[in-house]
Structure formats: C-alpha cells, structure tokens
Chains A and B, each alone.
Chain A
Amino acid sequence: MELFTPDFGLVFWMFVAFGILFLVLWKFAWPVILKSVDERAELIDKGVEYAQQAKEQLDNARNEAQQYIAEARRQQADILREADKMKLQIIDEARSAAQTEAQKVMDNAKLQIEQQQKEAQQQFRNQVSDFALQVAGKIIGNELQNDKAQEKLVDSILDNMEDNK
C-alpha cells in the first residue's frame, strides 16, 4: 500500500535536508545555545547560592552588631557603676582624711591645753608654796630659809591636799 511504502526520492531528499540542517545547527547554533542555557542555569544557581550566603552573612552581621551593642551597653553600665563607686570612695576617703586631720588638730590642741594647764598648775603651785613659806615665816617670825627642804615640805603638803581633795 502506497501509504506504507517509503518513497525513494523523499527518503533521499529527507536525508540530504536533515543532514544539512543537522550539520549547520551542530556547527553554528547548538553549541552557542546550549552553552548559554547551561551557563544561565549555572549563573542562576550561583546567584541563588550567593543570595543565600549574603542573607546568612547579613543575619550574622546583624547578630554581631547586636552583640557589640549589648557589650557596649554592659561596658557603659560597668563604667558608670565604677565611676559611682569611685566617687563614693573618694568622698569617703576625703571625709575620713578630714576627720583624722580634725582629730589631729583637736588632739594637738588638747595636748597643748593640758600642757598649759600643767604649766599653769606648776606655776600656781610654786606661787602657793612661795606664799605659804612667806606666810609661815611671818607667822613664826623668823624668816625661814627659803631653801629646798622647805619647798619640798610644802610640795608634799600640797600633794597631800590635792590627794585629799
């Protein structure tokens, strides 16, 4: 049947035409087209990968930045606390220094006062013993020798009096 009988002429021309088409496209078209299709696929793959990496990096960077900020805040707080502490300390130190200084001055003053008191007492004692000897001499009539022994006696009397007080 003619429908199922391949026609010689058509087979011949088909071979020729298809052969030429194949050779031409094989040489001039397919390498370029297929290469571009491949390369574009690769480019897209790489692009996606790159975008993912970039996103990752961005996320990382954000995290890092947040970490840095938190760190800075902490340091700031630390520094502030430190400063506060230092301030109090300085004030304390100053206060204690002032106190000691004041104490010293007061002690000195007390010491001086005591000294002066003692000196005054001594002076007063000397005068009293003097007076007492003179008074006793006048009373006895005889001028008592203002010697050491008498003075000692008066002194001891005065001591006794002081002790009895």
Chain B
Amino acid sequence: MRLLNRLTANILRSLLPVALVLVGTVAAHATAFDMDTVEKVPDNADSTVVAGINSAVAALDDSTPAVENVTPEEHAETAAEEEKSAINPKKIIFEHLLDGYGWEVPFDHHHRIPLPVIAYASDGLHCFSSAHLNHGAVYQDGDVTFTVGGDESKYPGKLVELVNGEEIRPWDFSITKNVCAVFICVLVVGGLMLWLASFKRRNGFKAPRKGLGAIEAVVAFVYDGVIKPILGPQAKRFAPYLMTVFFFILVMNLLGLIVIFPGGANLTGNIAVTLVLSICTFLATNVFAGKHYWKEIFWPDVPLWLKVPLPIMPVIEIFGMFTKPAALTIRLFANMMGGHMIVITLTLLIFIFSAISPVAGGGATVVSLLFSIFMLLIDTLVSFIQAYVFTMLSTIFIGLAQEGEEHKELEEDHGHVGKAIEDTLI
C-alpha cells in the first residue's frame, strides 16, 4: 500500500508540469492562429484513424464561412496553390504523431532544432544539417539533391534523393526527432540506473530517499511484483533485460507526454520502436527456450490426427510464436498513439470551433482544456500501465518458454492474469 501511495504521489507530482506544458501548447497554438478566423477544408482522409474526426468536422463545414488562414508554416507550403488555406486536422495530427527531421520549438513555427541527416545515397554517405530541409526545401549536397517528400510524394515526410525529377529513397540513417528522443531516453534511463547503482555500491543496505527512493520503489515493484513471481529461479537471468525494457518504455512514455524539447516525440506511439522492443522479447523467448517449448510447438500434446497428415497444430503454434510479439507491438503502439491523438484532437477542436464563432471557440477552449488535462492524467497512468503490461507479458512469454515443471503452474497462474489484462487493455 505504501508503495502505491508513493507511486501515486510521484505520478501526481510529475503531472503538474505536464498540465502546465499543455496550457503552454494551447497558448502557442492560439498565438499562431488568433489573428485569423479559420476555415477548415474537408480533407480526403484515407486514414481510418482520423476519419471520425474529419466526419465530425465536415458536419460543421457548411456553416463555416471561408476565411483566409495564415499559419506561417502552412503558408510557406501551400501559399502557391491556394490563397485561402485552412487548418488541416489530419496534417497537424500526423505532424505531431510522426517523425520529423527537426525538432519543433514552442511558439515558433518557422524554426526547428536542427538535427543531423545521415543518408547513404546513390554515390555514398551524406551528412548535413536538417536545417537545409526545413519546409520542403531542396538541398544540394555534393552531387546529390535531397528534399523531403511532400504530401503528394510516394514518401511523404521522408528524405528523398532527386534523380532526374524522380524521388528515390536513400538508406536513411538520419538522427531524426524520434532517434534523438531515443538517445535522450537511453541517457535518462542509463543515467538514473547508474546513479542508483552507484548509490547502492556506496551505501550498501541503506535505503535511498526522495527521487532515488521513488526509482528504487518502482524497481522493487517490478522485480518483486512481476519478474520474481513469474520466473522464479530464472528471475536473475532475465531481470536485466526486463527491467531495462520497463524503464525504457516508462521513460519514453512519460517524455512523450511533455510537449516541448526534450519531450514531445511520440516514441512508443511509433511502430518501429515497439517493434524493436517486441523483437527483443521474441529473441529472448526463443533463443533461451527449453526443449519443452519446442516440443509444445512441433509436437503438442493433442490427438494425433491434428498433427500427422496435416500439421494443423504445429502451424497454429508457429503462428502463435509470432502473434505474441505482434500483439506486444500493436498494444503499446496503439495505446500510446491513441492517447497522443486524443489530446491533439482535443486541442484542435478549439480552433475548429473558433472558426464557427468566438463563443463556441471560447466554450470549446474550456471544455477541451479540461478534457486534455484529464486525458493527460490518464495518459500518465497509461504510461505506467503500458510499461508494466509490456514487461509483464514479456516475462510471461519468456517464463512459458522456460523448461521445467513450473511450466504448467505458470500457465495456470499467470496465463489467465495475462490474458485478462490483455483483453482489458487492448
């Protein structure tokens, strides 16, 4: 109980800045848009995810007068094609959810924190600052011309090499916003854990206080609460990986909630990140699996006709090997991306309603703000829960693959728990 109290207290404390930052972002958007009454263009969303938002917005569309919109950023991109531009919710949402070559700065849509672009193009390695590519600019580096794919491009938002007017995707090793955020998370997690380790080395049994105490409480919570009960004697062997995964995801989730640098990258809401993590779990599960595990897959304990003429069960089991990490990938990705998307959408609602009338805008501001704060509170909780669930499921998968008599018990004890949590959370 005390542990939970400590956790809640820490989470609540961490929420205050989040809420403040949220207010800041809304203000930032407001300053960007306030001079203009905004009209929304119905957009041809092929995305099912934003389709709902768009249809909601489309309903408002008839009553909206067409007025010019002069967001500086969008102006640069769309000025040529259209005098009257508008908020494009899909574009804004995706801009926040997806990766980018620079890092946004609050209150400024022109400048971005430049990050290195590293690309292996047709003639070799190129490395230059992403500042050259801002707002769709074309950059000549050596003999190769680079740009970032526009909306109509085959590779929207990605670095492309222009060869005779055609866009070719080079091997892109750029330190993008997400890569940079991954590095920051690595530094944060590594720093925190090495700090805790050095404290332990110096002070032995003494319990740390304050910040380190909170970290240690979480360490003990995960280690004693998840890893040890599930893995038993094998806990020591897999704990380093599982603990690293837990803290890495937790820090990525929490940093993602902070809107400005060094946060704001939608890391765990990026499928590449969750994919890598679940590939690691997949490897840990299968590389260290016991004989029992492989027997269960290729010669499971089922009636003979299910496996001899047609290997029905083995095929299902092999399929199951891959669905487990796939579920891990999608769960974390979808949960975190959903949270981000809801908050962005709520913020966008302010501008969409402001386009109808100032009164509606004012009302929407209050409601959206309250909902956003509520959602961010939930997201903070979800950040922890998702890190916990990912770790727990990884532990269960690894535990199930371990040979021995505890296999059956494990399945009975934790399989249900895992399934139940899986069902509720997905």
Contact = CB atoms under 8 A, between A and B. Distances in A.
Given A2-B98, A3-B98, A18-B280, A29 B194 contact: yes
The winner among B175, B179, B204, B207 for most chain A CB atoms within 10 A is B179
Contacts of A7: 99, 158, 172, 176, 178, 270, 272
A30 B186 contact: no
Main secondary structure, interface of B, reads helix
A2 to B, nearest CB: 6
Interface string A127-146: 00000000000000000000
User: Which of the four size classes fits the interface of chain B?
Assistant: 35 or more
A9 B172 contact: yes
A109 B253 CA distance: 127
Contacts of B219: 33-34, 37
Given A3-B94, A7-B99, A18-B280, A30 B240 contact: yes
Contacts of B204: 36
B174 interface: yes
Nearest to B169: A8
A39 B98 CA distance: 44
B252 to A, nearest CB: 10
Contacts of A9: 172-174, 176, 179
A23 to B, nearest CB: 9
B178 A20 contact: no
Contacts of B189: 21, 25
Contacts of A18: 182, 186, 244, 248, 276-277, 280
B239 to A, nearest CB: 6
A10 B179 contact: yes
A114 to B, nearest CB: 106
Interface of B: 46-47, 49, 94, 97-99, 156-158, 171-176, 178-179, 182-183, 185-186, 189-190, 193-194, 196-197, 200-201, 204-205, 207, 216, 219-220, 223-224, 236, 239-241, 243-244, 248, 270-273, 275-277, 280, 337
21 contacts: A2-B98, A6-B272, A7-B99, A8-B172, A10-B99, A10-B178, A10-B273, A18-B186, A18-B276, A18-B277, A18-B280, A21-B186, A25-B243, A30-B239, A32-B197, A32-B201, A33-B193, A33-B216, A33-B219, A40-B205, A43-B205
